[in-house]
Structure 1
C-alpha cells in the first residue's frame, strides 16, 4: 500500500544520495542506509535545537520527527513507492519488521517497527545531547552505526 504523504517528507533525505549511487538508493548498501539514518538524526537534532531556541513547540517537533520516522518506515519496508529506492525481500514487515521487533524488543506491530526503532533512536540521541558531555557526537555516531546495522539485519557490535 503506497502512502502519498510519504513522498514529500522523505524526498529531501533521498535527494543527496543519487549522485553517490548512480541514481539508485539500494537498501542493501550500508552507505545508503547510513546516509538515510544520518539524515534522520540530523533532522532530529535540528528539531531539538528549534525547541531549545523557542522557535517551535515541543509537540510540533515531536510530530515532525514522527512524520520522518513514519516516512522512513515506508521506505525501509518497501512501501514508499519511490522508484529510485531498490528494495529486497528483507525490506518487508515479516522480515525487517519482525527482526526489529525481536532484536530491539519493540511492542509494536512488525509493520510499524522501523518507525518505532527510529523514534527509539531519536530518544537516545536526545539523551546523548542532554548529557552535556563533550563526547555526545561520538555517542550519536555510535547510535547511527547501530541503527544502520539493525536496518541491514545485522546485530550491532556487543549485542
Structure 2
C-alpha cells in the first residue's frame, strides 16, 4: 500500500535532476538512477538518525521508508505517472522486476521487487551504520552503487 506522502517525497527526489537531464529523468542514465538511489538512502539515514534521537518512533520510520520504496517501485517500473521520467522497456515488472527477484533471491511478485530490493538495501545500510566501523560511509557508497547497477540491469561488480 502506498503512503499518501510518498509521491511528494519521490517528486522531491526527482526535482534536482532536470538540470542534469534537460528536464527529463532518464532511467537509462546511471547518474539519474544513482541520484534516486542516493536520495532514498539519505532519507533512510535521516529516519534512522531520528529514531536514535527519539524524534521518531520505529514504526513511523519503517512506514516512511516503505512508502518511499513503494513510490520508487512505481517510478522504476514505469507506472508512477511522472511526465518528467523517461522509462524504457526494461522498466517493467516482467523485465526489471524479474531480474531483481532473481539477482537478489527475493520471494516477491515481480511487480513488487523494486520496493523489496530497496527495503533490502535499507536493511544493509542500517547494518553498515550499526557496525560502528569507521568505513561505514564507504560501505553505504558501495551499496548505492550496487543498487544503481541492479536497477540498470547489471549485476554488481561487472
* Interval containing the TM-score (normalised by the shorter chain): over 0.9
Alpha-carbon separation, structure 2, partners of 1:9 and 1:109: 24
Relative to the length of structure 1, the TM-score reads 0.95
SS at match of 1:63: helix
CA contact (8 A) 2:3 2:67 kept: no
SS at match of 2:20: coil
CA drift at 1:9: 2.9
Gaps of 5+ in 2: none
Matched pairs, number? 156
Where in structure 2 are the equivalents of 1:67-106 lying within 5 Å?
A: 67-106=67-106
- Residue 27 (structure 2) pairs with residue 34 (structure 1): no
Alpha-carbon separation, structure 2, partners of 1:145 and 1:4: 26
Alpha-carbon separation, structure 2, partners of 1:66 and 1:4: 8
Where in structure 2 are the equivalents of 1:70-149 lying within 5 Å?
A: 70-149=70-149
Alpha-carbon separation, structure 2, partners of 1:7 and 1:133: 34
- Residue 48 (structure 2) pairs with residue 48 (structure 1): yes
1:153 aligned partner = 153
CA drift at 1:20: 1.1
Alpha-carbon separation, structure 1, partners of 2:116 and 2:23: 28
SS at match of 1:19: helix
Q: C-alpha deviations, 1:14-36, integer Å up to 9, x for none?
A: 01101111100000000000000
Aligned residues: CA RMSD? 1.3
Alpha-carbon separation, structure 2, partners of 1:38 and 1:8: 17
Relative to the length of structure 2, the TM-score reads 0.96
CA contact (8 A) 1:7 1:82 kept: no
